[in-house]
Structure formats: C-alpha cells, structure tokens
Structure 1
Amino acid sequence: MVKMIMHGCNGAMGQVISKIVEEDENITIAAGIDVNDTIQNSYPVFPSLEACTVEADVIVDFASAKAVNGLLSYCSEKRIPVVVCTTGLSEEQIQLVEETSRQVAVLRSANMSLGINLLLKLVKEAAEVLAESGFDIEILEKHHNKKVDAPSGTALALADSINEAMDNHYHYQYDRSQTREKRQKDEIGIQAIRGGSIVGEHDVIFAGQDEVITFQHTAYSKAIFAKGAVSAAKFLAGKEPGLYTMADVIG
C-alpha cells in the first residue's frame, strides 16, 4: 500500500484526488497539507509540510506555484519522491525541479491526462512531416475563468514537443496585436481564452496550402488529471532519484 501526502488537499484538484484514492485499494492518503482548514477530510490535515508528523512514500502537489520552492526543499531534505502537478512555474523553478531530481525522484508534467500525453507524441510526429512541407502551426487553448497562468502549461508543452522535433527552429508568438506584419514562417502562435467553467481544451492547427489538419483534446472533468496524478504517485513511490514524466508512467 502506497502512502501519499496530498499537498493542496483542500483545493479543487486535491478534493477530486481524495475521492479517487478512496476507491483505490493500492494507495491511501496518509495526510493532507493546506492552509485552508474549512473542509473535513478522512485524513489529518496540516497547515504546512514542516508541521506534518505523518510519514509517507510520496507527495502529490496540486497547490500553487508560490509554494513549489518550499515543497522541493522539503522533499530533497526528507528524500520523499514528489509528483509536481502545479503549472505556471518560472524558469528558475523549473531549474530547481531539475536540481531536486538529483537528490530524489521527481515527476513533473504540464498535464497529467493520458490523452494529452498521447497528443504530445502525435503532434511531434505530425510536425516532422507537415512543418517540413511548409504548414503553419498555431495552438489555441481554452480554460475556465479562474486559471491564472496563460498560456497553459499544456499549450507550452505541445509547442515544445513540436519544437523539439524541428531542432528548436521555432519561436513562440503570444500577441500579434503589438506588431503589424505578416506571420513569420519560424513561429508557433499560441493563444489563450479564459471563460466560464471550461475544464480544458487544446487545438493544435497545422495550416497548409488548401488544407488544414487539427488535433484537438477536450477535458470534460478534472477527474482525468486526478487519475493521472494517482497513477504517477503509485509509479514514483520507491523510485531512484531522477526526473520522470508521464511518458514513463504510460510506457
């Protein structure tokens, strides 16, 4: 039985994960971490990792970017594997994730869903054919009105996957309103929409001469991300130090 700590347990994703874990006989939440103490859980909740007195095999993080530095420091010190699901990390924090992975197992993914991780592979393969044939590439992402980071981590991961296939040939264009010029061939346009309760939608558009190919992924509930996070936690428990991704979990 894998024992996990839910970092950000009283947030929306923390509560979805809590419900999924209750139905999984191979993993249990030993403790939760959250400054919000207004929700009653079946496990003890502490206001910080430092205050936590419960031992665990792995930590799953769905808190906020501002709490990631302290989380990584704690995991490195205690040698506890961590699944980092929080998005909107700075370049410095991404570097800190890599440094922490030298001390303890770390799994970081911009998106925990199986479908998105398959999409990352598909658009990479498509770029190798279509970009070479002169297709323009655009990414459109849509999320609910409470999401604070834009573009989404998933949109950037999709762009990075394409760019990797093309030897980092592209630069990213986020706002064309500041320049009055035609589209450049070496750019990937990335646009963000925020509204209502949209869970998550990503379109990757390959636009060529007289034909358009679109890859689309739509998330209808947060459960797909929660299930992925739980699978990642079970995978990471007991792993040697290193930086892992959802591709390792799936593969």
Structure 2
Amino acid sequence: MLNILLSGVGGAMGHMLQTIIGEDPDCQIVAGFDINTDQDTPFPVYSDLSQCAEKADVIIDFSHYKAFDSIFGYARDTKTPIVIATTGLSEANLADIEAGSKEFPVFRTANMSLGINLLAKALRDMAGALEDGFDIEIIEKHHNKKADAPSGTALLLADAVNDGLENKKDYTFGRYGRDCKRNPQELGIHAVRGGTIPGEHTVLFAGNDELIEIRHTALSKKVFASGAVTAAKYLVDQAPGLYNMEMLIDN
C-alpha cells in the first residue's frame, strides 16, 4: 500500500486526487496539508507539517506556489519523495528543487498529462524541421481562477520548441501597442482566462501560405490527477535525483 501525503487538499485538484486515490486499491492518503484544516476528510489535515505524525511514502503537491517552502522543506527534512505539480515557482524555488534532488527523489513537471508530455517530445523534432520560414506562437486557455500566467505548460512547450531549434527564440508574453511588428526571433506566448476551461494549449507554426496547428485539450482535471498518482508510484522506487514525465514515459 502506497501511503500518500496530499498537499493542497482543499483545492480543485486536491478533491480530484482524493477521488482518484480513493478508487485505487494500492494507494491511500494518510495525511493532508492545506491552509484550511477544516476539511471533511477521513485523514488529518495540517497547516503546520511539524505537527504531522503520520508516515508517508510519497508527497503529491498540487498546492499554491506560496506554500512551496513549507511542503518542500518538510520533504527535505524527512527525505520523503515528492511529486511537484505546482506551477508559478520562482527561480529560488527551482534552485531548491535542484539541490534537494541530490538528497531524495523529486519529480517535477509543469503538466501531469501524458498527452502534453508526448506533445513536448514531438515539438522538439518538429521545431528543427520548421525553423526556417515559420513563426511560432503558443496560445493557452484556462479557467478564470488560475493565478499564474502564462501557464507552466505553455512554458514547458516553449522550452521543448527551443530545445529543437539551432537558433533559440526569445519569449514574448502577449503584445500591446502601436509598434508591435513581429520580430523573427520571437516566440509568442499568450494567455486566455475564462469560465471553467480545464486547460487548452495550441502551438502554431505559421509559414508562408501554410499553417500548422497542434492542440491539446484537457476535458477534465482527471487526467492530471491520474498522472500524478502514476508519477508517485514511479518515484518511490527511484534513487535520489530529479525526475520528470518524459523519464517516466521512457521507463
């Protein structure tokens, strides 16, 4: 039985993970972490993890980026493997992840969807072939409660494109003004927010007289929750190091 500490219990992804894990006979949530401890859950929820007495095999973190220091500090102190799905992390946070992964297993990805990560792999191959003569733009759409922009997934896809290019692009986040003629060195990234959109990402290759669009649409948050549980099962058997979804896919 895989014992999980769930960070971000009260959020939409936290509720979805409770459902997914509850349906998995090989997993159980033994404790939760959330700013709001008044939760209707069969496990204890802590706002201060120093009070947590339960032993977890792995942490799944879908909390707000402001909670990162608390949850990652606990993982580092207890050497508990952690799956990080929180986006909006700072450069300092990423440096902490890199340092911590030398001591215990850390899994980080901007998107837990298998489809998105396969798309990222494909973009690396496509980008090099389309480097000459094509402008590249990324449009991402999310629900109106998403705090960070652009999405971590949009940046993941942009990085994948750049990995495949000989001449790296400069990221341009939206455009506004009277003198915004496109620079060939740009890779445009645009964020749309509205309604209850779970997540949609489009990568656009615009050439002379031809247009290639690749789109991934998440129809529910279930794909992300399922991916996080798969990552947790993978991570507990790994040595200290920094892991991602592409490594899981290739495993």
* TM bucket normalised to smaller: over 0.9
The aligned amino acid for 2:76 is S
Task: Tell me which residue corresponds to 1:232.
Answer: 231
Gaps of 5+ in 1: none
User: Are the equivalent residues in 2 in contact too, given 1:135–1:209 (CA < 8 A)?
Assistant: yes
Distance, in Å, in 1 between the alignment partners of 2:55 and 2:173 is 44
The number of equivalent residue pairs is: 250
User: Are the equivalent residues in 2 in contact too, given 1:143–1:195 (CA < 8 A)?
Assistant: yes
Task: Tell me which residue corresponds to 2:181.
Answer: 182
Distance, in Å, in 2 between the alignment partners of 1:74 and 1:32 is 13
Q: TM-score, normalised by structure 2?
A: 0.96
User: Are the equivalent residues in 2 in contact too, given 1:110–1:154 (CA < 8 A)?
Assistant: yes
Match of 2:97, SS? Answer: helix
Q: Name whichever of 78-87 and 232-241 sits farther off.
A: 232-241
Indicate the RMSD between aligned Cα atoms, in angstroms.
1.3
Q: Give the drift of 1:38.
A: 3.4
Alignment of 1:34-183 (within 5 A): 34-131=34-131, 133-167=132-166, 169-178=168-177, 180-183=179-182
Match of 2:76, SS? Answer: helix
Distance, in Å, in 1 between the alignment partners of 2:174 and 2:115 is 28
Distance, in Å, in 2 between the alignment partners of 1:139 and 1:30 is 39
The aligned amino acid for 1:100 is G
Distance, in Å, in 1 between the alignment partners of 2:37 and 2:49 is 14
The aligned amino acid for 2:119 is L
Distance, in Å, in 2 between the alignment partners of 1:52 and 1:181 is 53
Residue-by-residue CA offset, 1:172-212 (whole Å, 9 max, x unaligned): 01132146142111110000000111110000000011000
User: Are the equivalent residues in 2 in contact too, given 1:57–1:238 (CA < 8 A)?
Assistant: no
User: Are the equivalent residues in 2 in contact too, given 1:14–1:62 (CA < 8 A)?
Assistant: yes
Distance, in Å, in 2 between the alignment partners of 1:70 and 1:44 is 17
Residue-by-residue CA offset, 1:133-192 (whole Å, 9 max, x unaligned): 311000000000000100000001100011111146110011321461421111100000
Is 1:11 paired with 2:43?
no
User: Are the equivalent residues in 1 in contact too, given 2:123–2:164 (CA < 8 A)?
Assistant: no
The aligned amino acid for 2:61 is D
Decide whether aligned partners of structure 1 residues 112 and 179 sit closer, same or farther in structure 2, where only a CA change above 3 A counts. farther
Decide whether aligned partners of structure 1 residues 181 and 46 sit closer, same or farther in structure 2, where only a CA change above 3 A counts. closer
Q: Give the drift of 1:70.
A: 2.1
Q: Give the drift of 1:35.
A: 2.2
Distance, in Å, in 1 between the alignment partners of 2:61 and 2:180 is 42
Distance, in Å, in 2 between the alignment partners of 1:163 and 1:126 is 11
Q: Give the drift of 1:18.
A: 0.7
User: Are the equivalent residues in 1 in contact too, given 2:10–2:36 (CA < 8 A)?
Assistant: yes
The aligned amino acid for 1:22 is G
- Structure 1 vs Structure 2: percent identity of aligned residues? 48
Q: TM-score, normalised by structure 1?
A: 0.96
Distance, in Å, in 2 between the alignment partners of 1:144 and 1:155 is 15
Distance, in Å, in 1 between the alignment partners of 2:27 and 2:92 is 32
User: Are the equivalent residues in 1 in contact too, given 2:126–2:164 (CA < 8 A)?
Assistant: no
Match of 2:201, SS? Answer: strand
Deviation >4 Å, runs of 4+: none
Q: Name whichever of 71-80 and 104-113 sits farther off.
A: 71-80
The aligned amino acid for 2:117 is N
Decide whether aligned partners of structure 1 residues 96 and 168 sit closer, same or farther in structure 2, where only a CA change above 3 A counts. farther
The aligned amino acid for 2:34 is D
